[in-house]
Amino acid sequence: MTPPDRQTPQGPPPERRHGLAAGLVAGLCLLATAAPAFGQAYVERPCPATAAPVFEDHLQSLWYRRFWTGECKDLSVLRCRRGRPFWNDVVRTLVARAPAGRRGPVAARACRLGRRIGFEWTRPRAERRIDTGDLQTLHATLEKAPDVAAGLTAVEARVRAKIGP
């Protein structure tokens, strides 16, 4: 038998190969659990963890992050303006305006709506059905609505009219 610290021409001895395989599996499990629970770590609470959307390219994912955070990280400074409004802030504002007993449902609707609007807005220009002007109109509708639920209903209807059910 080969001593454990000596390698054979075929690599480590069999008893050591099992240890390496177990270590590799444990390491991969650790990496998988260390990843954020959100599909995108930048989508903040109260939005629930969901699988990341399937983006057409890396640029779309960068713009989607801009939609949620207001940050232009890794985007051209000539094309991207950082700041408000951004969807994490919109969700916080809507939840704060909602009556205490309705905050959970308002958050769920706002998060769902944000995923839908954000994904459509970040599609290639020739394909998208929601543009920056639409974002501004939708945001104004939410801000001006005296009732948060009514504002969400109005925006959901406009989004359905633009991109379908």
**How far is the C-alpha of 130 from the C-alpha of 135, rounded, in Å?**
7
Domain count for the chain, please give it.
2
Q: Which amino acid is at 21?
A: A
Asked whether residue 51 is assigned to any structural domain, the reply reads no
Q: pLDDT at residue 57 above 80?
A: yes
**Same domain? 31 vs 62:** no
The pLDDT tens digits for 84-110 are 889 999 999 999 999 999 999 999 999
Asked whether residue 29 is assigned to any structural domain, the reply reads yes
17 token code pair = 């190969």
Domain enclosing residue 4, as ranges: 1-35
Residue 89: how many other CB atoms lie within 10 Å: 15
**Same domain? 65 vs 104:** yes
**Same domain? 93 vs 131:** yes
pTM to 2 decimal places = 0.73
Asked whether residue 63 is assigned to any structural domain, the reply reads yes
Asked whether residue 21 is assigned to any structural domain, the reply reads yes
From the list 100, 39, 102, the residue with the least C-alpha distance to 65 is 39
Asked whether residue 48 is assigned to any structural domain, the reply reads no
